[in-house]
Structure 1
């Protein structure tokens, strides 16, 4: 099945899918569905109440679809498949689980996660919610996958915001990743990373991303 080819209607997807997570407020529901032997994740706000569906829900779906499309081809990011309709889209389903506090992960896991983060930054995307363990999956092969771009921002290649705001938010991402690393595997933090975290914690009190 190629990109952009889901031979199922919304009603068929609704009947055959399994709801994994109900999104709070206007956030999308996460549904898993099998299509021609392939597991897909459907992100959907179509079942939200009318006002939320046509305002916040519609905006979040459109924004996240554009971000996933911009990140196509990056290893460690689920790949977009198709925009089902204005309220939903299909993406690659990654069998895995969230990181667990205190679990034993090799240094290579965090090195690979840093590579994924660097790759999305190269595309002008900041994630903005890396402190949340549920946004990083450990795949069945033990590889990191970065998910849930509801809180993310996309920047154009040039312009005032890309020049001045993007570097700041990129450091917020870096600090969020190190805070997660500190909670999960503190022994893996280098002295340079600890020094960065200390500076980051002082600066974080001055902005809204707490």
Structure 2
């Protein structure tokens, strides 16, 4: 990695999984995830999550709307910066945004990648040109195999996008999209009935954030 003295670093988030920083280097902005500062009990998970994100971004190389993988050395991941607002701030209401988001998801799935975390609005960007972007591939499906489980998870990617469309542009949902929303996958129904409350408790008490906030606790 380049010498830190040549960098202008802004801390975006620091929690039990490490630090996320905005780094300006010679006029170029990148996002850096450093897991060296992760808590000892979370370090193994943080490393696996970063490695998964690196695999996903490498497989998605060249796709507009997804960051480029710049570096991954087992401790620090760097990706390109995409200018824009997280969905909960930008609140996209233009139907074109959702048409483009559907196409972006389709490209991901054709590459054998399922995001798996699209219920979180901060993982969707409203970019400066009004188009969608996707970030945070830490729990993405990266195996490439497109069997029954892949199709089930890909459908959930789609359903979560439609849930956001229902929030910001409900009058533009098609009849088919409304039908998809009304039929969550079995594992999604089981998750809501069992594990979701525990997940929210852990997210708030340990990491200091909820799904739609996108701003974790800054741990000193």
Question: Shorter-chain TM-score: which interval?
Answer: 0.7 to 0.9
Question: How far, CA to CA, are the matches of 1:113 and 1:141 in structure 2?
Answer: 14
Q: How many residues are paired up?
A: 194
Question: How far, CA to CA, are the matches of 2:181 and 2:148 in structure 1?
Answer: 21
Question: How far, CA to CA, are the matches of 2:179 and 2:37 in structure 1?
Answer: 46
TM-score, structure 2 as length reference = 0.79
Distance verdict in 2 for CA 1:103–1:60, change over 3 Å: closer
1:110 to 89, 94, 98: 98
1:83-122 → structure 2 map (5 Å cutoff): 83=72, 85-100=73-88, 103=91, 105-122=93-110
Residue 130 of structure 1 aligns to a residue whose secondary structure is coil
Question: How far, CA to CA, are the matches of 1:203 and 1:181 in structure 2?
Answer: 22
1:192 to 157, 176, 197: 176
- After superposition, give the CA deviation of every residue in 1:172-200 in whole Å (9 maximum; x if it has no partner): 11111111111122111111111111122
Q: Does 1:156 find its partner at 2:144?
A: yes
Instruction: Give me the CA root mean square deviation.
Output: 2.3
Show the counterpart of 1:3: none
Residue 130 of structure 2 aligns to a residue whose secondary structure is coil
TM-score, structure 1 as length reference = 0.83
Question: How far, CA to CA, are the matches of 1:73 and 1:191 in structure 2?
Answer: 33
1:204 to 155, 173, 188: 188
Show the counterpart of 1:25: 16
2:128 to 140, 153, 158: 140
Task: List, as ranges, runs of 4+ consecutive aligned residues in structure 1 with deviation greater than 6 Å.
Answer: none
Contact 1:102 1:184 in 2 (8 A): no
Q: Please state how far the C-alpha of 1:119 moved relative to its aligned partner.
A: 0.7
2:57 to 61, 68, 73: 68
Ranked by relative contact order (alpha carbons within 8 Å, sequence separation 6 or more), the top structure is 2
User: Structure 1 stretches of 5 or more lacking a match?
Assistant: 1-5
Q: Please state how far the C-alpha of 1:202 moved relative to its aligned partner.
A: 7.6
Residue 16 of structure 2 aligns to a residue whose secondary structure is coil
Residue 56 of structure 1 aligns to a residue whose secondary structure is helix
